[in-house]
Amino acid sequence: MTSLSTSPSGTLVPSAQPFLRLEHYTFGVGDRFAHQAKAQLRAFTLAAKDGVEIIPVWNKSNREHMIVGSKPDSVRGAAEVAIRDLGWKKPFHVDADHITQETVGGFLESSDYYTIDVAAAIGKPAADEKVSAFLDRHPELFQRIDLPGQDPLTISRADATQTARKYLFAAQEAGRIYRHIANAKDKGSFVTEVSMDETDNPQTPGELLVILAALADEGIPLQTIAPKFTGRFNKGVDYVGNLAQFETEFRSDLAIIAHVVKTYGLPVELKLSVHSGSDKFSIYPAIYRALRDTGAGVHVKTAGTTWLEELIGLAEAGGDSLALAKEIYAEAYAHREELSAPYAAVIDIDVAKLPSPEQVKKWSPEQYVNALRHDQKCKEFNPSLRQLLHVGYKIAAKMGNRYLDMLETCEESISRNVTTNLYERHVRPIFLGK
Ligand SMILES: [Zn+2]
């Protein structure tokens, strides 16, 4: 046991703890069936040609592993093959996404990036004396706080008490999980993220400040924090919410991060992590502007958007692979309730808008692709169908080799779609502003 495990709360300077430094711009990609790492990596080689260094992070949550029936070390395996084949000389990471104390074990060997999920602990009240000890330790929270480019922030002790009641226990839980990982791994061999995105209410910038002070007290060398932002971040479809409010909040959060790095000794690498970041096309210009104006880094996490490109590639190739894509839709349609259940909070499927499997059976490759591809200008684009298929990867997983073999047969059309989707629709607007 190291001293880490025995001296929690307030005595450790987070950035003085050993940690693996995370790069400025990082991008999380998910690869449900471990066949697209190369096509994904190509998007970052294209970005490098544009002069932007973006470091890939392959992420897969325990939930995805359970549904697909894969093991955590397969993610690193697939990434390493892609790195070798494309001659990628820069770093890459493997993210144990949304892990908890119960699920982290399987990821200790193969991951170098841990997204500690404490959503389940939010709202569990910390003991009253811990809340008041925390607030007594942080009188600076109640003074006027000047933030670069923002109106000054003032937090009352009453507000901070409320926030601490809601989040202090969760921050302490993050500390426990962090120390568990640190004790199991080599010194300085991993990145720590804390996620609070899978919860009911967005955190205000003031709440984020209190949360980060509490995480700093735990001595966590935190490099990314995933708050829940205002608006809806549904899987596979665009952002729904007030764009101006999002931009204001995103910029305030960046200012809070700059402030806590100075005030609490958190690593200078600390940055925001945007979860369910794929397909949120309407907020990308705001993110691009905020990064450009402040020089802040960012982590954008995506996952299922690649699996949908596999389906698009299968449909585009026609014949047997189109038939397989239709079969997957028919099965997903039949099992729509059970497939949607684990994702209920992050999808919005209008069942009335779903075409029947009989209709889909008659579709041409073009009709299938147009309904599924995330092109909002296309009249045939169907967000309900897209979201159903987004959560429908379990159907393909059950097909086993029949599905995997078809991925190999249609490698050309699939990898072309995977790369184009990441590079044109995600990387360029977020990091290049076009
Ligand atoms: Zn998340």
Ligand 1 mean position to 128 CA, how many Å?
30
Q: Residue 91 is part of which domain span?
A: 4-304+424-432
Which whole-number Å values give the CA distances from 3 to 11, 20, 104, 179, 222, in the listed order? 11, 19, 21, 10, 18
For the entire predicted model, the pTM comes to: 0.95
Residues 120, 41 share a domain: yes
Q: Which residues surround ligand 1, an ion (CB under 5 A)?
A: 197, 275
b/e string for 147-172 if b means 16 or more Cβ within 10 A? beebeebebeeebbbebbbbbbbbbb
Ligand 1 mean position to 271 CA, how many Å?
15
Ligand 1 mean position to 361 CA, how many Å?
34
Ligand 1 mean position to 10 CA, how many Å?
27
Residues 270, 189 share a domain: yes
Residues 329, 292 share a domain: no
Residues 280, 155 share a domain: yes
- 44 falls within a domain: yes
Report the CATH number that the domain containing residue 57 is assigned in CATH: 3.20.20.70
Residues 191, 89 share a domain: yes
Residues 260, 165 share a domain: yes
Ligand 1 mean position to 107 CA, how many Å?
17
Ligand 1 mean position to 226 CA, how many Å?
7
- 334 falls within a domain: yes
| pLDDT digits (tens), the chain, 434 positions | 344 444 345 568 999 999 999 999 999 999 999 999 999 999 999 999 999 999 999 999 999 999 999 999 999 999 999 999 999 999 999 999 999 999 999 999 999 999 999 999 999 999 999 999 999 999 999 999 999 889 999 999 999 999 999 999 999 999 999 999 999 999 999 999 999 988 889 999 999 999 999 999 999 999 999 999 999 999 999 999 999 999 999 999 999 999 999 999 999 999 999 999 999 999 999 999 999 999 999 999 999 999 999 999 999 999 999 999 999 999 999 999 999 998 888 899 999 999 999 999 999 999 999 999 999 999 999 999 999 999 999 999 999 999 999 999 999 999 999 999 999 999 999 999 99
- 311 falls within a domain: no
Ligand 1 mean position to 412 CA, how many Å?
31
- 310 falls within a domain: no
Q: Are 56 and 40 in contact (CB under 8 A)?
A: yes
Total domains, the chain? 2
CA-closest candidate to residue 373, choices 408, 406, 413: 413
Residues 368, 230 share a domain: no
Ligand 1 mean position to 3 CA, how many Å?
31
**Cα–chain-centroid distance for residue 26?**
11
- 286 falls within a domain: yes
Burial class (CB in 10 A: 0-12, 13-18, 19+), 353: exposed
Ligand 1 mean position to 300 CA, how many Å?
10
Residues 155, 16 share a domain: yes
- 418 falls within a domain: no
Ligand 1 mean position to 97 CA, how many Å?
8
Residues 364, 216 share a domain: no
Residues 335, 298 share a domain: no
Ligand 1 mean position to 140 CA, how many Å?
31
Residues in the chain: 434
In the Cβ-directed half-sphere of 101, how many Cα atoms lie within 13 Å?
Answer: 13
- 312 falls within a domain: no
- 153 falls within a domain: yes
Ligand 1 mean position to 233 CA, how many Å?
10
Ligand 1 mean position to 137 CA, how many Å?
31
Residues 357, 296 share a domain: no
Residues 252, 194 share a domain: yes
